[in-house]
């Protein structure tokens, strides 16, 4: 039979250190991914906000132009209320 080496304190120390390094690596990846996701959300929100501003500008210009009496042309007074 093959004899297994005894687990020494140094071995447990190496296992613990490896576990800590792995935990730090996983945590840093999670934090980085969270930051990337946050940036993506902010970018999407900015695009939506910009699109909304453009739509409001266009709608305001269209409303201003439609209120202008010259847009409808000359109105015949005899058929104005027909």
Question: Low-confidence residues of the chain, pLDDT below 70?
Answer: 1-5, 69-73, 80-82
How far, in whole angstroms, is CA 1 from its chain's centroid? 61
Mind listing the pLDDT tens digit for each residue in 52-75?
A: 999 999 999 888 877 776 666 677
Long-range contact pairs involving 38-45 (C-beta distance under 8 Å, separation at least 24): none
Q: What is the pLDDT of residue 22?
A: 97
Residue 71 CB partners (closer than 8 Å, separation 6+): 65
User: What's the rounded Cα separation, in Å, for the pair 42 and 49?
Assistant: 10
């Amino acid at each position: 039979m093959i004899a297994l080496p005894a687990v020494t304190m140094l071995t447990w120390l190496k296992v613990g250190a490896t576990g800590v390094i792995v935990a730090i690596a996983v945590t840093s990846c999670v934090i980085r991914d969270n930051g990337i996701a946050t940036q993506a959300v902010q970018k999407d929100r900015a695009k939506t906000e910009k699109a909304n501003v453009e739509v409001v500008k266009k709608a305001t210009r269209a409303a201003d132009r439609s209120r202008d009496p010259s847009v409808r042309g000359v109105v015949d007074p005899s058929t104005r209320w027909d």
